[in-house]
Every structure is written in C-alpha cells, then in structure tokens.
Amino acid sequence: MVGSALSTFQSERVHFQELHYQDGVHSQYREQEGSKADYEATREQSRPYRTAFHFQPSKNWMNDPNGMMYFKGWYHLFYQYNPFGALWGNIVWGHAVSKDLIHWKYLDDEFAIVGGPDWYDIYGAWSGSTTFLDDGTPAMLYTGWSNVSSEVQIQTQNLALPVDKNDPLLRRWYKSAANPVIVAEPWMDATKFRDPTEAWKGKDGYWRTLIGARLTDNVTGTAHIYKSKDFIKWKYTHDIHSLNGTGMWECPDIYPVWEERKDGLGVSASYPGIKHVMKVSLDNNKHDYYSVGVYNEETHTFTADQPSIDVGIGLRYDYGKYYASKSFFDQKTGRRILFGWVNESDSDLDAITSKGWSGIQAVPRKLWLDPKTGVDLIQVPVEELDGLHRAKVTKERFTLEAGSVTPVEGVHGPQLDVQIKFFKPEIKEDELEFLFNGTDRASLQAQEICSQMGAAHRGYYGPFGVLVLSAQDLQERTAVYYYLQVRKDRKWDAVICSDQSRSSLQTDVDKTVYGTYVRVLESEKYLTMRAIVDHSVVETFAQGGRTVVTSRVYPTLAINDAAFFYLFNNGTQDVQVHSFNAWKMESVDIVKLKL
C-alpha cells in the first residue's frame, strides 16, 4: 500500500507545501478543518469497520507510531499522518494525548512536526523517537525526507524541541537551527537512512542513537550508531549490528529488559541481570522482528544470544499484521510499552471512497522477557484496557465437545475481550499414531499448517478455539484456534492460527491465513488464548502473550449487533476448558482535546 501510494504523494505535493509553518502555526490546515458535524458524519460513514477502542485519527491515513512518552501527567502519542487523504503521503507528525493509554484526545490542529520549508525535510517528517535530555526536556530526533532532485530522495536526521517545555501537552515544537543534525556519510545510501531511535547515554557520557539503513550491497540490513555529547553535533562511529539478506531495517529499537522481572527499564540502564532486545522492521516483508542478546558497552555492538534467531530471521512481535512498532519506558508506572501500526487489508479504493481513513494503532502492550524461555518476549495489553470491560461472562471447567460449534450466552457483538484457558491434553502412547504427523516442524511452516488445516479441517486435537465476528449462520467467520500435533521427540507442537479465509463475503480484501508455532513448555499445564475484537481487528495473545497474531477483517453480515461469537472444536477429540471469561468492551470516544 505504501508503495502504491507514492504516486499519490507526488500529485499531492502542492497541498503539502501549503501546510508549512506560517507565523508559527499551520494556518492553511486550520482553515480547511471540518466542523464537529463533518467529523461525526465521517465517523458514521466509515462504520462498521471503524474501531471503537483502538487509536485512530478521525480521518485520513496513519502509519507508524512515533516518539511516545509520559510527560507531566500525559501520555503522548505521535504518528505518521497524511492530513490530506486516506493513502500514504504528505507525512506530518500527528499528536494525541491520554491519561491512561486508552482514552485519547487529538491535538491535531497543531501538528507536532510538519516538513519544510527548509530543504532537509521539505517533503515530509518521517519516523523518529523522543529522548529525555539531562534536564528532562523531551527532544525529538526524526527523519526528514528531502527530494533534492526527482531521482534522489535523501533522508536526513533532525532535531525538534518543545517551544514551552513546561507545557504538559507539548503543543508547539520548533526545529533546531542546527538541522539537519545528521546526514549520511558519503559511502552510505542516503535513500536508505532513517528512523532514529531514542538515544541512550553511555558511561563515557556520550549519547548514542541508531539509524536504520541498508548497506550499498542492497541486501544487508544494518543500524548505524551516531554519537554526540551535546545532542546537536553527531558523529558516525560504526554499525551496532547487521545481517546479510534482511534488506532495509526500518524503525530499529534497542532497549534493556530484566532477565527475571516484568518491570521495564530506561534505555540507558546498565545493571547486572539485564539483557538487551533489538528489534527491526523489515521493509522487505513488512514484519517486525526481535532478538534477545547482549549489548556490549565497550564495543557498542549487539550480539544475539542465539544466532539462529538473530534480528530479522527469527522471532516476531506479531505473526499477523503489525509493523513499524516502537517501545518506550513509561516513567509513570515503570513499564516498557509497545505501540505498533496495523495497516488495512482492504483496497486503497475502499480507504478513499468508503472509509476515508486507513490504519490503526494496536492496543498498547506491556512487554518483558519471558524468564521461562529467556528468548521470547511476553506481550500483554496494558491493564488500563480492562477498564473498558462490561458485562462479564464466566464459565469454569467444561468440555468443548469434538465436532461442536457452540454459542456462549451473553457473548455477542463486535467489541469483545475473550480469555480462555484450555487444559493441555496428555500425550498417550496409544494415540501417537494420530498425534504424530510424521514431520518435523522445520519441514512445514506453521502458516502452511494453518492454511491446510483451516478451521473447517477435521483434526485430532484441534482445530479448537473461537469464531469471532461471525454471521449467525456462519457464512462469515474469523476463526482463531489451536492445532496440536506431536513431534518426533514426542513433545507437543502447538500452532496458533488466525483464519480470515471466511471472514467476509467481500472478494477484494486480503484474507491471508496467519499462523505460527507457540512455545509450550512441558511444565505448562494449560494453553491460553486471549482475543481482543474491535469491529475490523482481532488481536490474539497466545500462551500468556508469548505469541501474538493480529488480523484485519471486513465482514459484510457479521457487523455491529449481527456479529456473533462461538466456541468451536473441529477435532475428533474433546477438549477440556479450565476457564472462560469474556467481556463486552466499551467504546472510547476519541475527540479533540478541549482546552
């Protein structure tokens, strides 16, 4: 989508230039701003796919989350935004604030950062991050897009600072007179040079930031380290890490995590008992990969603990649709929190004509290193989301009979939080011939298993799980389920699938089936699943958040009050449920902040 929208960008350039600062405010945009009635009309028109408790702008295109922070009582979320349309282009930093990470208010009449009029960001203010300087001032490093000629679209790194650093809402930002503070070295590809991370401070007193890049061999993804004493003069030192074959690394992120604790750490933390996580967004396949390893404070390099699951080739934050994510340390509660962009799966035309908007932010996730495996991150929706719970339905200890599809009384509608704990079955010797599919995991990708053993497949243990956003007669349904088989070493292989193939009668939407293996330890007695449903998005957290899959769906029948929910088990074996809890989710009204 981003690629195809480039041409739109070219044609809309003229609008973009109108946005440039005039006397310090974006007066052109203000004049074009719609009334509240217009806004409500847009909102209604874009139902039923508009989400009710995910962050999205009132209209138009949004992509990457940028520069999140907690500052003087407010959470701040900035985002890549096109003020002029529902496709990518004219990118500015939109701005929203919240007291609890869930109830957001727009601050979009004065965008935080708009490209131009100077050359270094004349065609857009691309992704970046916030760093708290020593005196507590939040400083933004962001990428400027500068089309110096029609052939050369170089990227530069720039600094923006708050006009009033005592304003808790941080409404006005100015650009440093020193911009661009970083330009690519002559040997670098300046068109593949973007998305500065939050800077961390080393024991030597230098700030360091990473710039995502691709080497000039065109195939090696990398992240350049730049260092600075004063946050203004930056110097390239070396690459923190790189990996052949991974292509352009967008939106890198690096942060410490405790080996044994769930609370988060600021990026400069240095203690015994911590590991580092490095994350990159691969432009090649639009997925976010992470790896756990060691950041060497002398050489300033990152080394993955397990080279076979190094950055870009191993674990992902999410096995569905989730990209350009960024984490931040929440100074209010001491958590590390992750935001990620969830793109649409319908067509560009739908975005322009029927919805008028495109892109949402996934529910913010708290994350920490899984102390049981040492390689996985655990991600769970921030607990503030539970404040939207209404009308709880609970069931304990029951059987999900083989071959059954069962509605659950009281669980209904397009806004749900469903949490289920299944008993993990015992592996019985006399069942092995059914359980063992004769392959090792390496020979069959989980996604292939999910596609081949779809929800309609009759397996042995599984598929079992939930049908959400379902038509009453199941003509439309999004199935989220486990499928179990036994490996040659006689251990369970659990696969979590999100099957969109029957999610909509529409034919021109992407219905890719997502799936992945879930690490289930022998010591674990249960398989867990949490599905968060919000009109056109389903976020599934498996095994306590060890594995996450996010899907977009656009049902035509299973909308609003006609969205039904079922438990199902299409295997030939009964499955025992330990507990089932579900809630309807209240809507969040995201409107402009009244000052």
60 contributes a contact to ligand DQQ by CB under 6 A: no
In Å, what is the CA distance from 40 to each residue of 87, 111, 146, 523?
Answer: 21, 21, 36, 52
Q: Which is nearer to ligand DQQ, 92 or 533 (CB)?
A: 92
CB 106 within 8 A of CB 96: yes
In Å, what is the CA distance from 395 to each residue of 421, 519, 565?
Answer: 11, 26, 15
209 contributes a contact to ligand DQQ by CB under 6 A: no
Q: Closest residue (Cβ) to ligand DQQ?
A: 126
Residues of span 90-109 touching ligand DQQ by CB under 6 A: 91
Shortest Å distance, C-beta 479 to ligand DQQ: 29
CA distance 589 to 595: 17
Among the listed residues 8, 46, 56, 80, the single contact to ligand DQQ using CB under 6 A: 80
Shortest Å distance, C-beta 262 to ligand DQQ: 29
Q: Which is nearer to ligand DQQ, 144 or 555 (CB)?
A: 144
Q: Are strands 323-330 and 335-342 parallel, antiparallel or unpaired?
A: antiparallel
Residues of span 519-558 touching ligand DQQ by CB under 6 A: none
8 contributes a contact to ligand DQQ by CB under 6 A: no
At 259, list the tokens.
């080996």
Q: Are strands 274-282 and 249-258 parallel, antiparallel or unpaired?
A: antiparallel
Active site residue 64: yes
Q: Which is nearer to ligand DQQ, 220 or 415 (CB)?
A: 220
Q: Which is nearer to ligand DQQ, 198 or 330 (CB)?
A: 198
Among the listed residues 12, 64, 108, 198, the single contact to ligand DQQ using CB under 6 A: 64
**Per-residue burial over 57-89, b = 16 or more CB atoms within 10 Å of its CB, e = otherwise:** bbbbbbbbbbbbbbbeebbbbbbbbbbbbbbbb
CB 221 within 8 A of CB 246: yes
Shortest Å distance, C-beta 5 to ligand DQQ: 10
Residue 31 main-chain phi, psi, to 5 deg: -60, -30
H helix runs in 373-495, sequence order: 432-435, 446-452
Q: Which is nearer to ligand DQQ, 143 or 573 (CB)?
A: 143
**Per-residue burial over 547-572, b = 16 or more CB atoms within 10 Å of its CB, e = otherwise:** bbbbbbbbbebbbeebbbbbbbbbbe
322 contributes a contact to ligand DQQ by CB under 6 A: no
DSSP assignment string, 423-458:
EPPPPPGGGHHHHB-S--GGGS-HHHHHHHT-TTS-
Among the listed residues 113, 139, 213, 251, the single contact to ligand DQQ using CB under 6 A: 251
Among the listed residues 213, 225, 324, 450, the single contact to ligand DQQ using CB under 6 A: 324
H/E run at residue 577: strand 575-585
| DSSP three-state, residue 264 | coil
Number of residues that bind ligand DQQ (CB under 6 A): 12
Shortest Å distance, C-beta 127 to ligand DQQ: 4
Shortest Å distance, C-beta 124 to ligand DQQ: 7
Binding mask 110-129 for ligand DQQ (x = CB under 6 A): ----------------xx--
Query: Residues 22, 23, 28, 29: what is their CA dihedral angle, to the nearest 10 degrees?
Result: 110
Among the listed residues 56, 82, 90, 143, the single contact to ligand DQQ using CB under 6 A: 143
Binding mask 162-201 for ligand DQQ (x = CB under 6 A): --------------------------------xx------
Catalytic, out of 64, 288, 310, 417? 64
* List of residues contacting ligand DQQ (CB under 6 A): 63-64, 80, 91, 126-127, 143, 194-195, 250-251, 324
Q: Give the catalytic positions in this structure.
A: 64
